[in-house]
Structure 1
Amino acid sequence: MQAIRSSISLLRSPLTRTITTNQGCLREIFKIQSLDDFKEKVDNGSKDKVVIVDFFATWCGPCKMLMPRIETVVGENEGKVNLAKVDIDEHTEIALDYEVSSVPVLVAIRNGKVQDRVVGLQDTDKLRNWVAKQVAKA
């Protein structure tokens, strides 16, 4: 498999990054900082594309294993999907609003509404299929 080199440019804050690979894939990944930030980037940002929200905890081993997998899959969807990371310990109110009772949880949001969710550690192929389904619903 050909190694993918990526260039990272910071946008708006060091907590938002756009990644372009040598294969032309574009993805935007951001860490949510507040409820207002969530509303702006996820609720409003899901009008023209799917936003996958990754609810995680820094102490969670499966969350750490899931992160590179979902980042890869989002990158393969060439700008059709954004990824928002929500630390449940920092943003308990958001986690409660989305009924997150265990981590990791991925929630697909389109037009401000939950489309689907996946709970627990998933393999890359399952994530690819799940994200493809969310993009196809758009």
Structure 2
Amino acid sequence: MVYLVRNKDDLDQQLARAEDKLVVIDFYANWCGPCKIIAPRLEELAQQYSDRAVVLKVNVDENEEITVDYNVTSMPTFVFIKCGEVLELFVGGNSDKLAKSMEKYVLDVDSTEQRRSSSHLGSEDVCSAGPSASSSGSVNDVVICELSEHDQEAVEAMMEQ
């Protein structure tokens, strides 16, 4: 089961309760197409590995402090933690990479020894939000979504609904 984090204290409690299980944090936004597309796969993986992993979702719009703490600027961002240590972080809606990373860390008994500061930033299936100066000099939020061709149709169909 995927757990929706309410605030920083809630996240801290969930991390403590996880003990030596793998924790996967999904940083998402309700307006992010790739986040919506990968959500069912994340739920499947959470159920598949429920005895060895805890899956948490953090809404970036409602939890700015957590988002800043993990330096999240694009969605979805997945952070893999075990025994309080960040093992991996990657950005994008790549369900194959998500499944392989979860499998790797739940099966790897000594995963805390692995890639301590690994960061994989892909250019596919990413939503970014950041400030941009308009012609009048004011700052506006700009949303950038890059999708693989495979997921483009799914997003278009979702937007029509």
Q: Same fold (TM over 0.5)?
A: yes
- State the aligned residue count: 109
Looking at secondary structure, tell me which structure has more helix per residue: 2
Establish whether residue 63 from structure 1 lines up as the match of residue 35 from structure 2: yes
- CA–CA distance in 2 between the matches of 1:46 and 1:116? 17
In structure 1, give the amino acid aligned to 2:85: K
- CA–CA distance in 2 between the matches of 1:130 and 1:109? 11
- Written as runs of structure 1 = structure 2, the 5 A alignment for 1:33-112 is 33-42=6-15, 44-112=16-84
Establish whether residue 121 from structure 1 lines up as the match of residue 93 from structure 2: yes
Scaled by the length of structure 2, the TM-score of the pair is 0.63
Q: 1:92 to 1:78 in 2, by over 3 A?
A: closer
| Partner-residue secondary structure (3-state), 1:38 | helix
Q: Does the Cα contact within 8 Å between 2:2 and 2:46 map onto a contact in 1?
A: no
| Partner-residue secondary structure (3-state), 1:45 | helix
1:83-137 C-alpha deviation (Å, 9 max, x unpaired):
11100000011011111010001111111221111210113x3322110111133
Larger relative contact order (C-alpha < 8 A, sep ≥ 6)? 1
Cross-structure match for 1:131: 102
Scaled by the length of structure 1, the TM-score of the pair is 0.73
Cα root mean square deviation, aligned: 1.4
Q: Which runs of 5+ in 1 are unaligned?
A: 1-27
| Partner-residue secondary structure (3-state), 2:42 | helix
- CA–CA distance in 1 between the matches of 2:22 and 2:93? 20
Q: Does the Cα contact within 8 Å between 1:63 and 1:103 map onto a contact in 2?
A: yes
Larger Cα-atom Rg: 2
Give 1:45 shift: 2.6
1:12-42 C-alpha deviation (Å, 9 max, x unpaired):
xxxxxxxxxxxxxxxx421111111010002
Cross-structure match for 1:31: 4
Q: Does the Cα contact within 8 Å between 1:45 and 1:51 map onto a contact in 2?
A: no
- CA–CA distance in 1 between the matches of 2:102 and 2:11? 20
In structure 1, give the amino acid aligned to 2:61: D
